[in-house]
Structure 1
Amino acid sequence: MNKKSSILGVAIGLACLPLAYGQSDNTLEKLGNFQTTGDAEFTVIDQKSDSAAAIRKTLEKIRVPKGFEISLYALVPDARHMAVGPQGVVTFVGTRKTEVWAVTDRDKDRVADEVKNFAPSVAKSIPNGPCFSPAGVLYIAEQNRVLAYPAAEFFYESGDVVASEVIPGGELIPEEFVSYNHTARVCDVGPDGKLYISLGQPYNVAPKEHLDTFAEWGIGGIIRVNQDGTGREVYARGIRNSVGHDFNPVTGELWFTDNQVDGMGDDIPPGEINRQTAMGQHFGHPWYGGGDVRTNEYKGEEVPVDVVFPVSETIAHAADLGMVFYKGNMFPKQYQGGIFSAQHGSWNRTVPVGARVMFTPVDAEGNVAGETVPFAEGWLDENGEYLGRPVDVALLKDGSLLVSDDLAGAVYRIAYTGSDS
């Protein structure tokens, strides 16, 4: 069986999954039966608008290590988390609004030629988190459901694309906990073939009366399911709000960033990069606000769980979001196998911090081999004004690094030129 036939077989199988609730019922039923909806109208983003020139001007201020260059890859409104297609044809970019964008560089000059919304006939709610399986199935984690789009990289040119529910609408978390806060999901397919989804808890500090329910659902943690949605289990606990994770390609272990408790002061608690070595480990929330800093709400209590502390701590309130292990060959050896991560920037710190891309070295045994340090910075200027706010990082096939920015509405590309000029 060739690859295309195999993917179509997956599509037919997924089409038999339960349908969406509300407005999408009929739409997903039609798409699952390979029927047109009549509702597929594209929005195309002009890549030659005045915004492009303004963003390129901003990029002149961004500092990267010698031998690297940063350029504008695409104008992408509200750009959040990214998934680069396994074939290298198209990159899907989620948002915290209602669109997922398909970004295509047809002539492979490393600048996007076309950006348009993906699957416009499917209504979406905070489709922040796209991710691919090795077989080419695109998963998108929304606010309260997860959809699968088999063969998305082959059929994204059509406004109607096969879409089926992996976790039906209203069943990712209980509706009573659907919030405007900490509702941007991310996903990844692990080396075990299972789909991992982060579920941020909606509070600054999770209240005691909800802890049992959160533990049952995996809210304030990371869940995993089979790719058809069965076999749901809570994989990680004690996470305030993780909006970035990746698997170490050597050890297969899950690593993730975590945003820590607000309102404790400018300099505490630290942000986190965590390493999970076994299912069911607990990472401290709500007893710890970040690192080993106890929360005010639980400070006097004995911690009832064994806590795994972060392997790297970052500056407080910088909002560490997307992360990726560097698996490419373009960058120099000292970067290979390490972690690139995006700091979105602080929102309530008296002196703003963040808005940069960070690097954490990791050795061949899977251990952190140094501090997390800035790699690309300058989006926060000397006046404390944000010129951009990085959200996520992803690798193109050539080994260059993509960086999304939801403030500027852009995706950047960082490449190594080998020149120190």
Structure 2
Amino acid sequence: MKPITALFAATLLASATAAVADDNLEKLGQFKTTGASPEIPTIPQTGPKADAIKKTLAKIKLPSGFKISLYALVPDARHMAVGPQGVVTFVGTRKNKVYAVTDRAKSGVADDVKPFASTIDLSIPNGPCFSKDGFLYIVEQNRVLVYPAAEFFYESPDVVAVPIVPKGELIPKDEESYNHTARVCRVGPDDKLYITLGQPFNVPAPEKLELYKKWGIGGIIRMDRDGKNREVFVNGIRNSVGMDFNPKDKSLWFTDNQVDGMGDKIPPGELNRATEAGQNFGFPWYGGGKVRTNEYKSETPPANVVFPQVEMDAHAADLGMVFYTGKKFPKKYQGAIFSAQHGSWNRTDPVGARVMVTYLKEDGTADKTETFAEGWLTSDGEYLGRPVDVAMLRDGSLLVSDDFAGALYRISYEGH
């Protein structure tokens, strides 16, 4: 077959596959079957890979009384959403799959990992999140789907899914990029859906700013849970891939990844606190913390820029975060923020690949931040794992996802 003929055939196949996937989504919305086989292949949970990861976990340093163990092997594991019933944890990826992870025996180890809703074609479904009444939202690169009963019908390849933001309408199609495409979401205390939208550049050109401000690209948007009444909540953010609401004062905290190419030690990564709509967090005038970007150093920043609550190590890549609302950990950790650092990719002296904990003051602002779990980055700069997200199970233990190792870890407290 001539190259051009092969290319044409491949294009036709891709178009046909996409058409089938779109048709499947329409069928599922009408409670119709796609005809897919009910047998879903599972991910093996034992073997050399599991054994190697367990050896790595034996090297992880934790505070006294804590234990880390392998919870599940999940390919490309990114952000997690633990079902309100405690039945299933859904795990997003930066590829085309979401995985359903179950521990029916409540043994602290998953007994089943398999693709979720496999008859729908997904594109970078990084961000799953749940509402309190059990609706699962999955934010893709440029679409948002809601699964009204995912926790109860995940056993089938056909699961009812409804696009609340249709494909190509989360951001303008012309702004789709291969960079900073991983979204995360949360359902807020106001029962609205919040979504982070990273902007694709290291530092965007001035002519992009008006469009990005309108759409909330480089910010956080919110909307009703049916996709209506969309608005930009806050902006001035480079690329946030982690957020959570403080249950005590309803403020929204989020991580932000800062400008590359300014040096090993600057600018700092950020942990931010949004207390009201309309706040601006300084990007692109500031590259991280109060460090001005070279591109905008002669420009006047917006008034009342909100600076970060915590300045993290430069380029450590702060991603997922969660407020610890459980009671199993010692008192000092209750109400604290656990956050994951994915690890640097362009520092001459690598940093990150760990889980951090940030304690809060009585007034709801940040107190001190310290390392909680580390050891995935060796002394000679080799990554053994790269934490992405942190989530709390119903039993008060923590899950940590790792897209490098393709795994979920469980951190429990066994002290007294």
Letter in 1 for 2:283: H
The equivalent of 2:389 in structure 1 is 392
CA distance in 1, matches of 2:116, 2:127: 13
1:285 Cα deviation from its structure 2 partner: 0.4
Q: Which moves more between the two structures, 348-357 or 46-55?
A: 46-55
5+ residue gaps, structure 1: 1-20
Given candidates 258, 263, 266, the residue that maps to 2:256 is 258
5+ residue gaps, structure 2: 1-17
The equivalent of 2:98 in structure 1 is 100
The equivalent of 1:6 in structure 2 is none
1:352 Cα deviation from its structure 2 partner: 0.4
The equivalent of 2:42 in structure 1 is 44
The equivalent of 1:7 in structure 2 is none
CA distance in 1, matches of 2:403, 2:362: 34
Is 2:347 the partner of 1:379?
no
The equivalent of 1:15 in structure 2 is none
Q: What secondary structure, in the 3-state scheme, does the structure 2 residue paired with 1:261 have? A: coil
Letter in 2 for 1:238: G
CA distance in 1, matches of 2:370, 2:44: 35
Alignment of 1:1-400 (within 5 A): 23-39=20-36, 42-370=40-368, 372-400=369-397
Letter in 1 for 2:376: W
1:292-351 deviation digits (Å, cap 9, x = unpaired): 000000011111342000011100000000000000000000001010000000000001
1:367 Cα deviation from its structure 2 partner: 1.6
The equivalent of 1:8 in structure 2 is none
CA distance in 1, matches of 2:341, 2:223: 28
CA distance in 2, matches of 1:170, 1:317: 31
Letter in 2 for 1:117: P
CA distance in 1, matches of 2:412, 2:145: 33
1:114-144 deviation digits (Å, cap 9, x = unpaired): 0000000011000000000011000000000
Letter in 2 for 1:389: R
* Number of equivalenced pairs: 398
CA distance in 1, matches of 2:20, 2:47: 34
Q: What secondary structure, in the 3-state scheme, does the structure 1 residue paired with 2:389 have? A: strand
CA distance in 2, matches of 1:266, 1:222: 28
Letter in 2 for 1:25: D
1:228-274 deviation digits (Å, cap 9, x = unpaired): 00000000100000000000000001000000000000000000000
> 1:255 touches 1:274 (CA, 8 Å); kept in 2?
yes
The equivalent of 2:401 in structure 1 is 404
CA distance in 1, matches of 2:300, 2:188: 34
Letter in 2 for 1:286: P
Letter in 1 for 2:397: S
Letter in 1 for 2:49: S
> 1:187 touches 1:195 (CA, 8 Å); kept in 2?
yes
